[in-house]
Structure 1
């Protein structure tokens, strides 16, 4: 392996990055240079790395850096909340040896924190490549295999609960709209506005559930700015960012944001590529539950991915045995375990865990008082 670290090679030129991305059948939208543009708008610097492997294949590691006063604080692929990173490689056959070379390079980088959050279906390769000095943050994602096509998935993959709920939802007078990044924020678009409204409702509900002071919850939410992230993704990805929204009597009920990439079904080679269910929100007044709108939106998003020749639909991370995990299983999702990998010069993971445990304890105390 040769690491190209000459002037102009790090960060990777966009033409090369796009060529490698297009040559990897397992690439996801969050590994694109346009996704890096979203992070750049939030203060991150493009630190992407280009490698040439022994057999001549090129490999690109998307990487976003945080720098302060000339000091590199972090280099991550990607930061928390920004989806799946990890390497894209020509031909798509990422081996443990390839991943190990990338991790060895990251290990030597000067940043305080260096991290990789791989696409879950490649998680085992990265975990195998990582040594004992790598901190692992374990996750479980739920993924639907769309290879059988929509008709078979609906009849055999979806549980009866999902099919019945979708049929009931279709009987309500719901205004459902599919938009992409080119239209969702336009003069006639509504998807981004619906997300902003429903996300604000969710923040207030989460604060109540956790026993968290509402002003604090809103400040933290404003700092994360999930609506701003969605708007940036829509602008950067265009047609690859799909926003599903539903209204009832003009009131927002639910919204899903799905990122699509890599469909190869149109070539006759069978379904390929990935759709990532990235962000979602629903109203807190009970209309979404009454109308079963979330079942309808997930069904439509999955059907849309099937019709676009997508092979895998990622429904996101959920704790084993939780309500969200059970919900996703209704649509045929299967659990996929993987780990985010972190090199830390300070005990950051332990500090984060301690802070979250302390926050959970305070919230529990507030709820019981």
Structure 2
């Protein structure tokens, strides 16, 4: 643990401690009204099982306020390569402000601190509803990676959401799904004999194979890449760390797995984190409509104010689907400080990968092997 003091431009002093003491982090998390589950210290425990180290930072201001930045580091041979809040695929990070009232000055303080850090990459992925504040505080040297998240306003409770925000398509589909007699379970890591983790792994493996066929990608390569990312292992680690805050919804039809939705539950915000499905059965039974309705209803009962349905490209089928449930788009940006042009390299890599996939898809279509 290291502790330093630094002076701000206005002359005030800030004491910075890293990693943030767990007891303090937990206290600040509990007193931050807009905290999301991915900002809990237990979330860092899940990242720890995947090779990341706790680099969280506690900021103690002259006026007694305390801020905590969840931060995960990746180190190789003693060199810190990345410090991110959070790494890609691990949800929203950003700042916890004890008592609430996150300010532009708070965000600026943290970004100035990260800009001085020695890591090759330093990044913040803020909770989308705070994105505008972070963007306003960001210096011109930061690289902005744009995203669009779909968020459902749960004000008024589920009856209001169902009647005024769900579209008729969603309500009708939920009613039809209920007539299929689907076997739906809600579970978390603290429950015994759960099926959700195993079902997710099975459905996700099927999705990897489908995506490979759609992209014209060799199946062996697709499976190797998926094994490297290891979404099922990531979910297992998160579920073990968060306990009943990681809720796994699953639906079966006549014993066959149909769909799984994973929701990270917080006091005011619920995050739809992961999902997987068997497309043919899902279309036949409309199970995804039922699961989304149940997860939103569950969040309303818990007093949640906003349900985050995750990122989707504007105009995509996923965004269109989320609009059926009253989701509205929220634009925000991940903020990155790079000592090397990593973003441009990533863009070129994606472009090259897409070109290879297109060529593979054309060859498979021409040969009739798709």
Normalised to the residue count of structure 2, the TM-score between the two structures is 0.94
Deviations 1:284-312 (A, max 9, x none): 4x011100000000000000000010001
Q: Distance in 2 between matches of 1:354 and 1:334?
A: 31
Is 1:274 the equivalent of 2:279?
A: no
CA RMSD of aligned residues (A): 0.9
Residue 267 of structure 1 corresponds to none
Match of 2:262 among 247, 257, 271: 257
Q: Distance in 1 between matches of 2:203 and 2:19?
A: 37
Residue 229 of structure 2 corresponds to 224
Residue 328 of structure 1 corresponds to 322
Residue 180 of structure 1 corresponds to 188
Residue 76 of structure 2 corresponds to 68
Match of 2:342 among 343, 348, 359: 348
| CA drift at 1:61 | 0.2
Match of 2:219 among 204, 214, 220: 214
| Counterparts of residues 238-257 of structure 1 (less than 5 Å) | 238-257=243-262
Gaps of 5+ in 1: 263-272
Residue 368 of structure 2 corresponds to none
Normalised to the residue count of structure 1, the TM-score between the two structures is 0.94
| CA drift at 1:160 | 0.4
Q: Distance in 1 between matches of 2:158 and 2:347?
A: 41
Is 1:22 the equivalent of 2:39?
A: no
Residue 269 of structure 1 corresponds to none
> Is the 1:256–1:297 Cα contact (8 Å) retained in structure 2?
yes
| Counterparts of residues 283-322 of structure 1 (less than 5 Å) | 283-284=278-279, 286-322=280-316
> Is the 2:55–2:72 Cα contact (8 Å) retained in structure 1?
yes
| CA drift at 1:65 | 0.4
Match of 1:123 among 116, 131, 134: 131
> Is the 2:14–2:62 Cα contact (8 Å) retained in structure 1?
no
Q: Distance in 2 between matches of 1:210 and 1:53?
A: 51
Q: Distance in 1 between matches of 2:174 and 2:72?
A: 40
Q: Distance in 2 between matches of 1:47 and 1:74?
A: 10
Deviations 1:5-48 (A, max 9, x none): 4xxx3101111001101111000000011000001111111000
Gaps of 5+ in 2: 1-11, 364-370
Match of 1:199 among 201, 204, 216: 204
Count how many residue pairs are aligned between Structure 1 and Structure 2. 352
| CA drift at 1:249 | 1.2
Deviations 1:77-117 (A, max 9, x none): 00000000001011211111110000000000000000000
Residue 90 of structure 1 corresponds to 98
Per the alignment, in what secondary structure is the counterpart of residue 340 of structure 2?
Answer: coil
Match of 2:85 among 77, 95, 100: 77
Is 1:108 the equivalent of 2:116?
A: yes
Q: Distance in 2 between matches of 1:332 and 1:104?
A: 37
Deviations 1:126-174 (A, max 9, x none): 0000011000100000000101210011011000000000000000021
Per the alignment, in what secondary structure is the counterpart of residue 231 of structure 1?
Answer: helix
